[in-house]
Structure 1
Amino acid sequence: MGWVFLIPVHNALTIDVEDWYHVCCGDAEPVVPAGKRRVRQNIERILAMLAEFGVKATFFMLGSVAEEEPLLVPMIVAAGHEVSSHGYSHTLVPLLGPKKFRDEIRRTAEIIGTQAGCKPVGFRAPQWSLGPETPWALDILHEEGCLYDSSYNPLPFIGDRRGARTPFSIATSAGSIFELPPMVTPSPICNLPTGGGWGFRFFSLSMISRTVKKLNDAGMPAVLYLHPREMEAFGPRLSLSPLKSFAAYGTRSDAEGRLRHLLQNFRFRTMRQLVATWQSA
């Protein structure tokens, strides 16, 4: 099932709140001293930019980061933004399995609930690792109180390349859950990852803007995503193979300039607000 928004259409800016070393490449994550963490300073930069444009966003928070930086969630909530779940450990969903996945969802919800005053109602899996091959995960999300997910990325290799490019509803064993996939740009070869990550910095700003406008003209929202590390062009990076390094960092120019352009030229609201629009339709 899909929905068409009445004009004017609002889009969603989402931030995956993780630190610079949270990169899914099949390798063990390094143990990083507290002095080497950089997530807070980059979140502060993002919050300042959002305040400048009067935009509210959704922050998908890692439970481990919320534990290590207990001032982050209250800071985000105080600025009027939504905090949702990114899981606890940044482990891919299939590697967790049903029991550990539920444990992570509950643990992160408890941390965010304590810090924010309310539990999260949305989820995004690390590296888009939730999809048709893990149907049990959506059952668990629904049972744990989630209204929506944003993990079905319609890309080859890391998602479902034939998947829907616009929001839809998925039936679970206990009811339905809203799915809000990230923005991609169709091409003759495959869908291109223009909605965030390395693709957001690699592909032209005109291509990204045209894709947002085309979705909005069709009455649909664009879901964009950003990692805090993308706010600094010369921040630290892990030592990876050339292919993994490109997948993780792309050209590694910072995303701030083009993000400013989009915030100035398009409307945005939180994911929960978008879902509330569908629920009331």
Structure 2
Amino acid sequence: MSVKKICLLTNDVETTSIWFNCLRDETGLKVLQEGMPLLLDIYSKYNIKSTFYFTGYIAKLYPQIVKIILKRGHEVASHGLSHKKEHGFDQMSYKQQVHHLRESKMILEDISGKEVIGFRAPALRVNEDTGKALIESGYLIDSSIASQRFDWFMSFGGRKKLKWLSSPRLPYRTSSESLFKKGNSPIIEVPLSATLLPYLGTTMRIFPLLTRLQHRLLNLENSINHKPIVFDIHPNELIDESNETRSISRRSDQLFAYLFQDLIRAQLKVKNLGHKALDLYDREIKYFMQKNYQFITVREYVENTFNGSQGNRSV
């Protein structure tokens, strides 16, 4: 099946508190009880099938957070084992990456009873070993590359992310040596949408007017080359923790990194959280609904587009 107008709405599920700029189990519970129900309700409202990338940590802490999406027909995928800064896939060894990938896969499969073949790296941080580690760990699909996104110094791993600027824009089979390049490995890369600025919940909340221009540009591109729209949102964007006294956790020892990656970024990222974010997301969905896009999971897209051929395995 070949469908030209595809919108892939994807979700990264973790215990990150945007308000406190740190990982908190209490935030994970609010994600389960408040953020996820809102997200699932909006998907049910529009009859949308989506892909959820869970960290192994939140899945093990609150298994129900995985189970609640299964009844709605959504896809379970991996967001690594941990979202800690020191566990970025751009700095872990090959052996560590394989361990994290296998552990996360096992946790999610034990809870869901379904094979997990999709992965997205926490903070989209990968290195030259990540593709090989994915193959070794039994994954078939990656969505960690944001082609033509420019992060400059506002996110961790920014220098390695410069490779995004030259990465293929359309989904592609990766090189066994690098997720940033085309090749003949079993891994299919489904890049997140970007127009220098990333097309995701954070940008939507901070720059809602720019996001309107952005979705029009992405729709225009689709009319030319049929590139799928790939949006990323976090259910923790739909919760509000502002009733708690705020202190911004420092995650970097370097002054420059702390100033831009923690302090300034943390101030920007709290804009339009909670129900305001939900209203903005509803607007984005309506735009692509009106343009007659089909909303499916990342796995379904790969099956339809790459004919189920993944090296020696079928999706």
TM over 0.5: yes
Hey, what's the Cα distance between the residues in 2 that align with 1:7 and 1:67?
Answer: 36
Q: Deviations over 1:134-181 (max 9, x none)?
A: 222111112222111111123333322232333122122783311111
Q: TM-score, normalised by structure 1?
A: 0.84
Q: How does 1:2-151 map onto structure 2 within 5 Å?
A: 6=2, 8-21=4-17, 32=24, 34=26, 37-40=29-32, 41-90=34-83, 91-130=87-126, 134-151=127-144
Which amino acid is the alignment partner of residue 215 of structure 1? E
2:188 match: 178
Cα drift, residue 271 of structure 1: 0.4
Hey, what's the Cα distance between the residues in 2 that align with 1:71 and 1:7?
Answer: 33
Which amino acid is the alignment partner of residue 223 of structure 1? V
Which amino acid is the alignment partner of residue 120 of structure 2? R
> Residue 202 of structure 1 is aligned with which of 195, 203, 206?
206
Hey, what's the Cα distance between the residues in 2 that align with 1:36 and 1:95?
Answer: 25
- Which structure 1 segments of 5+ residues have no match? 186-190
Given the alignment of the two structures, is residue 258 of structure 1 paired with residue 280 of structure 2, yes or no? yes
Cα drift, residue 222 of structure 1: 1.0
Which amino acid is the alignment partner of residue 253 of structure 1? N
Which amino acid is the alignment partner of residue 229 of structure 2? A
Hey, what's the Cα distance between the residues in 2 that align with 1:22 and 1:109?
Answer: 26
Given the alignment of the two structures, is residue 278 of structure 1 paired with residue 296 of structure 2, yes or no? no
Say if 1:233 and 1:253, in contact at 8 Å, map to a contact too: no
Hey, what's the Cα distance between the residues in 2 that align with 1:233 and 1:278?
Answer: 38
Hey, what's the Cα distance between the residues in 1 that align with 2:227 and 2:213?
Answer: 17
- Which structure 2 segments of 5+ residues have no match? 153-157, 178-183, 250-257, 309-315
Cα drift, residue 238 of structure 1: 5.5
Given the alignment of the two structures, is residue 239 of structure 1 paired with residue 248 of structure 2, yes or no? yes
State the number of aligned residues.
263
SS, match of residue 171 in structure 1? coil
SS, match of residue 224 in structure 1? strand
2:230 match: 223
Cα drift, residue 229 of structure 1: 1.6
Identity %: 25
Hey, what's the Cα distance between the residues in 1 that align with 2:61 and 2:25?
Answer: 11
SS, match of residue 12 in structure 1? strand
Say if 2:18 and 2:269, in contact at 8 Å, map to a contact too: no
